[in-house]
Amino acid sequence: MHYAYGTEEWEKVYLEMVAKRLATASKPYIQGSPEWVATYEKMIQESQEYKEAAKGWEGTVVIHIMANPELGLEGDIYQLLDLWHGECRSVRLVPREVGEKADYILSGELERWEAVVAGDLDTTKAMMQGKIKLKGDLATIVRYVKASALLTEIAARIETKFLSQLSEGEREQYRKEASELRAEVGF
């Protein structure tokens, strides 16, 4: 039985789970895994350039990666970025019901997000072409286009292993762990 997102218990369980995985998982981390997300959080928090570019930004952003069972992703992933005036307060994997309430939601197929993180797909172009969908107030987000681009650039700097690169054995292991996480923390 998992705890409700937003409660102290949930946060405690989440952080313990991340710490445990960071201690044991081998690099490069799999895109969207708790250890990858924790690395992403740390890198955003350490970026002076991001702090400067996102000075006035208020609002939560969700990166929504759509399920792709064939590649091992049985359910959708929602990465919630809690961003406030240049600070990255946290990046968490959250349940769907939480992710869908974010101020801005960027949705796309797994292969699109793999291309973004690999540095092969520009998010602005991807939105224009319908490869990534954006829900939210465009007028606000365009004021912070540099900050948005930096978030993408930071993700591209993470040494990443993509789901499409996993062997069948690794994929099976990923499925098993993802199922356990769903039971433990609800995503």
Partner 1 sequence: MRYGRDLSFIYNNPTRIIFGEKVVREVGMEVDSLGGSRALVVTDQGVVAAGLAETVQKALGRRYAGTFAGGIQDSGLHIVNEGAAYAREVGADVLVSVGGGSTIDTAKGMAVLLKEGGRLQDYAGYQLLSRPQTPHIAIPTTAGTGSEVTYAAIIKDWENSAKILFCDSQIIPNVAILDPLLTRGLPPQLTATTGMDALTHAVEAIHSTEREPLADAMALHAIRLIMAYLPRCVERGEDLQARGQQQLAATMAGIAFNNTQVALVHAMAHSVGALFHVPHGLANSILLPHVIAYNLEDCADRYALIAQAMGVAAPGESDEEAGSAVAEAVWALTQKMGVPQRLRETGVPWEGLEAAAHRSLSDGSIIYNPKPIATAEEILSVYYNAW
Comparing C-alpha atoms, which of 55, 61, 30, 49 is closest to residue 160?
30
Taking the least distance from each CB to partner 1, the nearer of 35 and 114 is 114
Interacting residue ranges for partner 1, rule: CB under 8 A: 115, 119-122, 124-125, 127-130, 132-140, 142-143, 145-146
C-beta of 21: minimal distance to partner 1 in Å?
31
Smallest gap from residue 128 Cβ to partner 1 (A) = 6
**Shorter beta-carbon distance to partner 1: residue 61 or 185:** 61
Query: What's the min distance (Å) between Cβ of 2 and partner 1?
Result: 29
Q: Which pair of tokens denotes residue 8?
A: 């102290």
Q: Are 177 and 72 in contact (CB under 8 A)?
A: no
Query: Phi/psi class of residue 32: alpha, beta or left (left: φ > 0; alpha: ψ in -120 to 50)?
Result: left
Q: How far is the CB of 16 from partner 1 (least distance, A)?
A: 36
Instruction: Tell me how crowded residue 153 is: count the other CB atoms within 10 A of its CB.
Output: 14
Closest to partner 1 by CB, 37 or 150: 150
Nearer to partner 1, 95 or 108 (CB): 108
**Shortest distance (Å) from residue 123 CB to partner 1:** 10
List the end-to-end C-alpha distance of the chain, in Å, as a whole number: 12
**Interatomic CA distance for residues 112 and 114, integer angstroms:** 5
Here the tokens at position 178 are 């993802």
Are the C-beta atoms of residues 116 and 74 closer than 8 Å to each other?
Answer: no
Q: 68 has which bridge partners?
A: 73
Nearer to partner 1, 129 or 179 (CB): 129
